[in-house]
Chain A
C-alpha cells in the first residue's frame, strides 16, 4: 500500500517540480485527446443533424407509411377503414400516428383567390417529422376543438398574404362556396427558396369545417354531388404515418397489412418503412475522425517519448540518489512509468475539458445548417477512449525511459 501511494506521490512531485517540461511534453497529448474527443462528438452531432434532416423529410426512425386503395365497389367505406385503423392503433399501443392527405383548396390571398395545397394531418406529425415552426407554434389538442380551423403555413404562404410575421394574428379565408376563416398559428420554413405556398391543417377539424373539396360543409353544405371531386375524395383514405420502435417495425409491417386486409376487405394495403439502411458515409466519417485523432495521439506520444528520454538522462544522478534511499529497480521503473502515465492522464483530462468547452460552444446552427432538436449528449465513450488512449500512450512512452533508468548502475548514477 505504502509502496503504491509512495510511487504516486513521487510521480506527482516530479510532475509538480518539472511543470514546464511536463507542460511542453503534454501539449501534444492534450491536443490529441481534444482532437479525438471533439471529432467524435462532432461526428455524433453531424449524424444527429443528418438524421433529424432525414426525419423531417421521411419521419423518425422507424416510421411506417400505410397507404390503401379501394379495389372494387365492395370495398369497405373510408369511415369503416378509419374506425378499423383506430382500433389497430389501440391494439398495438402505437403512440404516435398521423393521417396525411394532400388537398387542393381555394384560398383568398392578397392578390386574390388562388388554389393552394393544404396538407391535412394529425398533431402527432409534428413529433414524427420533427416539425419546428420558425414562428408561432405547431398544432395542439386545443386546435382539435377550436371554434375556427387553425393553420400552420409556410413562409411563402405568409408572403402571399402580404405578411412577414404573425404579429397581426392573421386569418385567411379557405373554401369556395362557403368559405371558412382559418387562423394562422404557426409558420414553417420553406422547404426550398422558391417553394409554393403550403398550409397544414388538422385532419379532423379541417374535414369537419371545410370538407375535402374546400366547399365549406360546416355551413350547411350538402353532401358532395356524385362525380364531384369531393365525392371522389370520399372514396380515398389518407396515408397514415406510424412511428414505431425499430425492433418491432418488421413484425408490425406484416401484422398491420394482414389486420387491415382482414378488417377492411376490398382495400389494397401497402405498408412500407423508412428504415435507413445506408450507414456507409457515417462509418467513413467515423473512421476519418478516429484516424485524425490516432495520428495526433501518435505524434503527441512520440514527442512525449523524446522529452521523457532526455529528462531521464538529465535525472540519472537523482535516480542514483533515490536508489541510495532504498528505491528498488521496480520502484524506479514504476516511478518513471507512473510519471508518464500520471502526466498523460492529466493531459487527457485537460484535453477532454477543452473538448467539452469546444463542443458546448460550437455554433451548431452555422455548422450544420440548422439547429439540432435532440442534441446528442457529450460522447462520454469518446472521452473515456481519449483518456484511455492518452494513458496508454503515457505508459508506452514511459516504458522506454523507465527501462533506461533501471539499467543505470547506482554508483555510476550517483557520480553522474
Chain B
C-alpha cells in the first residue's frame, strides 16, 4: 500500500465566463514512504494544484486519492485538516515565514497545533530542529535579518518539526541562487532520508528534479513519467532526456524511455 495514491484525479474550476478550466486531467501517481519524487513543469501547468491536492489543501474534482489506503473523501474536513498538520510538511518557494516572529517562533508555530509532548515541548523541539538545519545560532533572529538560504532553512525546519510523513516542496529553490539552492536541496534530501519521510518536489529546475528517484512532467494538467539527469535542460516546453511521452493515466504505467 502506497503512502499517497492518486488515481485518475482531475481538478477543474469554473471561470467567470462559465467555461470549465481543466487544471489537472487524469493524474495517477503513487508515492511510497521515504521516496523522493519530483514533478517538473512550466508555470501554469497545474504543479501547485497537484501539490495542494496531495497536501489536502485542495480536493480533486474527480478521481480517487488514497492516503495510506483511505480515500480522503471519507475523511471529515476536520480530520483532513489535522492529518495535514500531522502528516505533511510544506516548503514554499517564498518561504512564507510568519512576519514579526523569530526563527524559533516560526519553527514553533506548527507545534501549537500538535498534541501531547510535541505541544508541551515545542520550544525544545523547535530549537533542536533549527540546530539540525544549521541555524542553532540564529534562533532569535527575525526572518528579515536572515539570508534567502537561511530563511528557506527555517522553512524546512518548520516543515519537519512535527515529523511529517510527506514533505511537499513547492519550488523550494525558486527564490535562491544555484549554489544556495543546491545546499538547501542537500539538506532536504538528507533530512528526508534520515526521517524516512517521502519528499515530493515541484520545480521547474531540472537539476533539482534530477535529484529525485522518480521524475514526472506536468504539461497542461497531464502527468507524464520522465527520466532526467543532471545534464537535463528545457528545450521549449519540453525537457531534454524526456523519458516517456505516454499519458500518466495509462495503466500499467509504462517504463520511461530515455531519449537520446
Contacts and interface: CB of A to CB of B under 8 A. Distances in A.
Do the two chains bind?
yes
Interface of A: 2-3, 5-6, 9-10, 13, 17-18, 317-318, 321-331, 410-411, 414
**Centre residue among A317, A321, A329 by max chain B CB count within 10 A:** A321
B119 A2 contact: yes
A317 B115 CA distance: 24
A16 to B, nearest CB: 9
A74 to B, nearest CB: 92
Nearest to B115: A2
Given A327-B81, A328-B82, A322 B100 contact: no
B55 interface: yes
Contacts of B58: 410-411
Contacts of B85: 324-327
B109 A411 contact: no
Nearest to B51: A411
Contacts of B96: 317, 321, 414
Interface of B: 48, 52, 55, 57-58, 77-78, 81-86, 88, 90, 92, 96, 98-101, 105, 109-110, 112-116, 119-120
Contacts of A321: 96, 98
16 contacts: A2-B114, A2-B119, A6-B119, A10-B112, A13-B101, A17-B100, A18-B100, A318-B99, A322-B113, A323-B81, A324-B84, A324-B88, A327-B113, A329-B77, A329-B81, A331-B113
B86 A326 contact: yes
A226 to B, nearest CB: 99
A323 B96 CA distance: 12
Nearest to A16: B100
Given A2-B114, A321-B96, A411 B84 contact: no
A414 B92 contact: yes
Contacts of A2: 114-116, 119-120
Nearest to B77: A329
Contacts of A17: 100-101
Contacts of A414: 57, 92, 96
B57 A322 contact: no
Nearest to B97: A321
A28 to B, nearest CB: 23
A317 B97 CA distance: 10
A105 to B, nearest CB: 83
A23 to B, nearest CB: 15
A323 B82 CA distance: 10
Contacts of B88: 324
